[in-house]
Homo-oligomer: A and B are copies of this chain.
Amino acid sequence: MSKQLTVLEPEVCCAPLATATVPAEAAADLALAFKALGDPVRLQLLSMIASADGGEACVCDLTPAFDLTGPTISHHLKVLREAGLVESDRRGTWVWYRANRPRMASLSAVLDIAPTA
């Protein structure tokens, strides 16, 4: 199983942007994740993976959903994996992907807005 998590410790990462200036170290990590999300195909891939029955999706099911080549899809999945947004493992012929749900939750928390400012 390959894991390339880059999630920072809670004391560094993930205070909401609306509560304090984000420290430089956390900003670099968060920017990596948001940059990975900054592409429509990658957003669609992540949503397909995160919403898949059983919580994982085979690359063999992901690729046909796009009018893109296999290598292009693989590249996008690699970007998501290197940003810590998905995890993958190979079983036989195919690679299966799962969303890194704690990572997504951390990013969600960073953008969360307090009821009053």
Contact = CB atoms under 8 A, between A and B. Distances in A.
Contacts of A109: 108
A59 interface: no
A117 to B, nearest CB: 5
A113 B117 contact: no
Interface string A7-20: 00000000001111
Interface in A82-113: 99, 101, 104-105, 107-113
Given A24-B44, A43-B30, A43-B31, A17 B104 contact: yes
Contact of A38 (B36, B105, B108, B113): B36
A48 B42 CA distance: 28
